[in-house]
Structure 1
Amino acid sequence: MRSKYFFFTAVVVILLGLLIYLISSNGGRTYTWNEHYKELSKGPYGLAVVFQLLKTQAKTEKFTLLKKRVQKALPTEPTEKSNYVFVGAGQFLDSADVQTLLTFVYNGNDAFIATQVLPFRLMAKLYPKTCKEDKWENLNYYQDRGVEANFLHPDLRQKKPFDFTYRTTDPDSIYDWHFFDRGYFCDDPDGFVALGQLNGSKTNFVRIRYGIGHFYLHSNPLFFTNLFMINQRGKQYAEAALGHLPAGPVYWDCTSKVNRAVAENMNADGQGRRRRDFNRPSPLSYILSQPPLAWAWYTLLGTTLLYFLVRIKRRQRIIPVLPTNKNNSLAFIRTIGRLYFLQNNHRQLVLQKMKLFLQFVRDRYKIQTRELQEEFVDQLSVKSEIKVERIQKILDLYRAIDFSPEIQERILADFHQQIESFYKNCK
C-alpha cells in the first residue's frame, strides 16, 4: 500500500513539474512581457539579440559566459585587455564579487553595467567622496510611457534622438526611467563623466575611471532588450553605447541578476536604512527570480502538498489481535468428573467420561454424535482405525450403565480401561 502512495506521489510531482514548465515557457508559442533579461530568450525583454551581437564581435573563443559567481569566474589579470558586461534589472554582488570586479578594472580592463539598481557595495567604492552628495544613495527615476535618449559626444550625438516606448499587455501602463541625480556630478577628475542623457537633461549613461580601467554605468537596461534591438534605431543606440568598450574578450555575467525589488532591499540593508515596507516583495522574490531556485521551491511545495493530501486520507484503525477461542467445556467436565469420583458416584462419573469421549470424537474426527448407531460406529472405526468390536463394547457398556441406577466400581474400571485404550491406539 505504501509503495502505491510513493508511485502516485512521483507521478503527480512529474505532472506538476511539466505543468509549471509549460506555464513558464508558454508552450513555446508566445512570449512573456516580464523583464527577465535572459540571455537566450527571444521574448520582448530578453537579451538574445545583444548577446549574439557581442558574441559575434568578440568571436566565439573570446566570449565567456560566467556561469559561476564573479569572484570565482572573472580573472583579475586576463592575458589581454578584456571587458566585463552585465545587463539586468538589478545586480547582486557580495563583498568578494565587488573586490574581484574592482581588481579586474583597476588592472586596465573595462566593465559595462546596465541596471536600474547599482549595487551599494560597488558604488560605495566608486563614488568620489569630494562630490556635493556626501554618500551614494540610489538612482532616481521618473515615470512616463516613453522617453528620448541621446549621447553627448559629438560623434555619437544624433540630430533626432532615439525613441524608446515601453510596451506591455496593458496599453495604459507607464515605466520608471532611471537616471543619475545632478548632485552625483562634480569637478573631481575621478568622478562621473556624463556620456548620455534622457530627454536632453537627465543623465542615464556615465563613465568613471578606476585605476587604469573604466566603469561604464547605464541606468536603463531596457534599451538593450530584443524589443528595441530588432529596430534599426534601437540597434544603432546599443552599438554606440557598447562601442565605448575597447576591442577584446568579453565576460558576460549571467549569475548576478536579481529583480529590481530584491536589489533595492539589498541596497537598503547595505545602507543601514531598511524599513518595513509592505509594498516590497518578500525575500522569496530572490528565489523566484532564479530559475533553478524557483524550480526547487515549486517542487518542494508540490511534494509537501502531496504529502499532506496522502496523510490526511482516512486511515483504518489498527485491528486488535483477538485470542483464540478456548473450549472450557472440557475443563468443566473434567472438574465435575473429579467431584463425582470424590463422592463415589460411579454412574455420574461414567456419564461425564462419556461426554468427554464424545467431545473428543466431534473435535478430532468431525463426526456427528447425536445418534450412536451402526453408522456412527463404522465412521469412527474407519477414521480412528480402531476395530468395530472395541468401539461397540464402549457403547454397550455406556448404555448398560446409563440404564442402571447404580454401578459397581468394577464396571467403572472396565469402562475407564476401554476409553483409555481407545485414546492410546486411535489415529
Structure 2
Amino acid sequence: MNKTFKIYAVIFIVVMVILALLEVNKKETTDWRKNFDVNKKTPFGLFVFNNEVKDLFKNNLKKIEQTPYDYYNQHPKKPHNILVIESDIDEESWRKILDEVSKGSDAMLIVNDIPREISDSIGYYDSDISFKEENVLKLTDKQYQNDFIKLDKFPSGRGFTFIKPQVEVLGKTIEKDNGDQANFIKVKFGKGNIYVHSEPLFLTNYYLLKPGNIKYTQDVFSYLQDKETLWFVESNTKTSRFFMRFILSNPALKYAWWLFLGGLVLFIFFNAKRKQRIVPIIEPLKNTSVDFVKSIGNLYLQEGDFHDMMAKKAQYFLHKIRLDLLIDTQNLDEDFIKKLQLKTGKPIEMIQEAVSLIKKAQDPYSHVMKEDLAALNTILDEIIK
C-alpha cells in the first residue's frame, strides 16, 4: 500500500466519521416538498386522500398504474370518469384523455400545469395569478358558499386567464388585496365535460386533516357523475426495482454512498493522471460548412438580389412558426399577429413591423433595398430567439 493511498484512506475515514456525527446529532425536520405521492405521510403527500378516496367515490373507483395512452389502447371503455392529480403525463396520454371525453366521459384534472397546446384546445391559459402566502379557495355555487379552504402553507398561486366564453368558472382564489381569480373551471368538450382545478394542495395530508376542509373536497368531486372513475396514479405509485433502492431511500446511507463513489473517482483520477502516457495532439478536421455559407452569402451580395434573400428569410421564419408554435401562417392578418404576440411575448408593434416586412418580401413586385433585408433579419431573429 503506497503513501498516496494511505492519505486518501485517512481523509475518507475522517470525512465519514464527521458525516456520521452530523447525522446522529441532526434534528428531525418536516419534509415540505410537494411530492403528491399516495404513499407519503409528509404534509404534501396524498396518503390520507388515498385511504379515503374509495368512500368518496362510493367504492366505484379504480386505480390505474399505467399511462392513459397505454391503458386505453388495451382497454376500450364506455363513458366513465377520469381523475388525474398532479401526475407526470405525456402529451399523447393527454390527447387520449381528451379523446375519451369527446366520446362522453368526464375528466377531473387537478393539476398545476398541462401542456399549452392541450389547454389551448380546451379554451384557457393557465398562469400565476397570486404571489400571496395565504389565500382562500371557494366555489362559486351558492349552495357551497360555507365550504372553503384557507391555504396558509405554500400555495402555488396558479389560476386561469384568457378564458373563452364556453368555459364555466366553478371556483375562485380569494385574496384581501386583489380581485377574485378563477382556479376551478368546467368546459364542455364533445359529448363529455372537463373539470380543471389548478391547486392540488387541497387534497394533501396537511389540508385534509384540518377540521372542516373535507367538505370543500367533497363539493369539488360532487360535480362528477355517479359512474366508474379511473384514477391514473402511474407516476406516483411505481416502486423502484433498482437493487440500490434501500441505500438511496435512506438519507444517511445515500450521502455515504455518493461520497464513497466521489472519493473513488478522485482516487482513480489522480492515480491515472500520474501514470498516463502523453496523448498526441490530433488536429481536428476542418469545418468547411462556415466557408460554404460565407461563399453563398458573398454570391448573393455580389448579385445584389436582396429581394430573393429577404423572401427566403421570411419563408424560413414562417416555417419555424408553424413547426414550433403551431400557428397557421396562411393568412398574415390581425388574428395571426395576436396569436404570435401571445406565444412569443414580444411587443405588438414589433410583430406588426415583422408582418409588414414579410408581406413586402412575399410581393414579387416590391422594391427591396439592403436596409429592408437588414431590418427583416434583425427583427425576425429577435422574435424567435
81, 87, 98: which one aligns with 1:102: 98
Q: 1:139-158, aligned counterparts within 5 Å?
A: 139-158=127-146
1:44 aligns with 2:43: yes
Q: Displacement of 1:155 after TM fit?
A: 2.3
Contact 2:39–2:47, Cα closer than 8 Å, also in 1: yes
Task: Tell me the equivalent position of 1:68.
Answer: 66
User: What is the one-letter code of the residue matched to 1:100?
Assistant: K
Give unmatched runs, 5+ long, in structure 2.
6-11, 237-243, 276-385
Contact 1:76–1:107, Cα closer than 8 Å, also in 2: no
Task: Tell me the equivalent position of 1:180.
Answer: 160
User: What is the one-letter code of the residue matched to 2:46?
Assistant: L
> Deviation string for 1:19-51 (max 9, x for gaps)?
9xxx9xx99x76411111111212211112222
Task: Tell me the equivalent position of 1:322.
Answer: none
Whole-Å Cα distance in 2 between the matches of residues 98 and 209 of structure 1?
16
Whole-Å Cα distance in 1 between the matches of residues 209 and 76 of structure 2?
33
Q: 1:321-332, aligned counterparts within 5 Å?
A: none
**Cα 1:311–1:51 shift into 2, 3 Å:** same
Whole-Å Cα distance in 2 between the matches of residues 219 and 234 of structure 1?
17
Task: Tell me the equivalent position of 2:170.
Answer: 195
Cα RMSD, aligned residues only:
4.0
User: SS where residue 85 of structure 1 aligns?
Assistant: strand
Whole-Å Cα distance in 2 between the matches of residues 249 and 48 of structure 1?
22
TM-score, scaled relative to structure 1 = 0.48
> Deviation string for 1:188-236 (max 9, x for gaps)?
xxx2111111227211110011111111101111112111111232111
> Deviation string for 1:81-111 (max 9, x for gaps)?
42221222xx544332122111221121111
Task: Tell me the equivalent position of 1:337.
Answer: none
Task: Tell me the equivalent position of 1:212.
Answer: 191
Whole-Å Cα distance in 1 between the matches of residues 48 and 132 of structure 2?
26
Whole-Å Cα distance in 1 between the matches of residues 66 and 118 of structure 2?
19
**Cα 1:194–1:253 shift into 2, 3 Å:** same
228, 249, 258: which one aligns with 2:207: 228
**Cα 1:138–1:57 shift into 2, 3 Å:** closer
Q: Aligned residues: percent identity?
A: 18
Q: Displacement of 1:124 after TM fit?
A: 2.8
User: What is the one-letter code of the residue matched to 2:47?
Assistant: A
Contact 1:77–1:107, Cα closer than 8 Å, also in 2: no
Q: 1:73-92, aligned counterparts within 5 Å?
A: 73-74=71-72, 79-88=77-86, 92=88
Task: Tell me the equivalent position of 1:113.
Answer: 109
**Cα 1:75–1:154 shift into 2, 3 Å:** farther
Q: 1:391-402, aligned counterparts within 5 Å?
A: none
User: What is the one-letter code of the residue matched to 1:198?
Assistant: T
Contact 1:80–1:248, Cα closer than 8 Å, also in 2: no
Q: Displacement of 1:65 after TM fit?
A: 2.6
Contact 1:116–1:221, Cα closer than 8 Å, also in 2: yes
Contact 2:149–2:202, Cα closer than 8 Å, also in 1: no
Whole-Å Cα distance in 2 between the matches of residues 116 and 208 of structure 1?
17
**Cα 1:49–1:34 shift into 2, 3 Å:** same
Larger radius of gyration: 1
User: What is the one-letter code of the residue matched to 1:155?
Assistant: Q
User: What is the one-letter code of the residue matched to 1:112?
Assistant: M
> Deviation string for 1:268-295 (max 9, x for gaps)?
xxxxxxxxxxxxxxxxxxxxxxx98x96
Whole-Å Cα distance in 1 between the matches of residues 125 and 248 of structure 2?
34
User: What is the one-letter code of the residue matched to 1:47?
Assistant: L
127, 144, 150: which one aligns with 1:164: 150
Whole-Å Cα distance in 2 between the matches of residues 107 and 301 of structure 1?
50
Whole-Å Cα distance in 2 between the matches of residues 250 and 306 of structure 1?
51
248, 260, 279: which one aligns with 2:227: 248
311, 316, 321: which one aligns with 2:268: 311
Contact 2:41–2:47, Cα closer than 8 Å, also in 1: yes
TM-score, scaled relative to structure 2 = 0.52
Whole-Å Cα distance in 1 between the matches of residues 137 and 57 of structure 2?
26
Contact 2:149–2:216, Cα closer than 8 Å, also in 1: no
Whole-Å Cα distance in 2 between the matches of residues 309 and 251 of structure 1?
50
Give unmatched runs, 5+ long, in structure 1.
6-11, 128-135, 168-173, 258-290, 319-427
User: SS where residue 187 of structure 2 aligns?
Assistant: strand
User: SS where residue 46 of structure 1 aligns?
Assistant: coil
The count of aligned residue pairs is: 240
User: SS where residue 38 of structure 2 aligns?
Assistant: coil
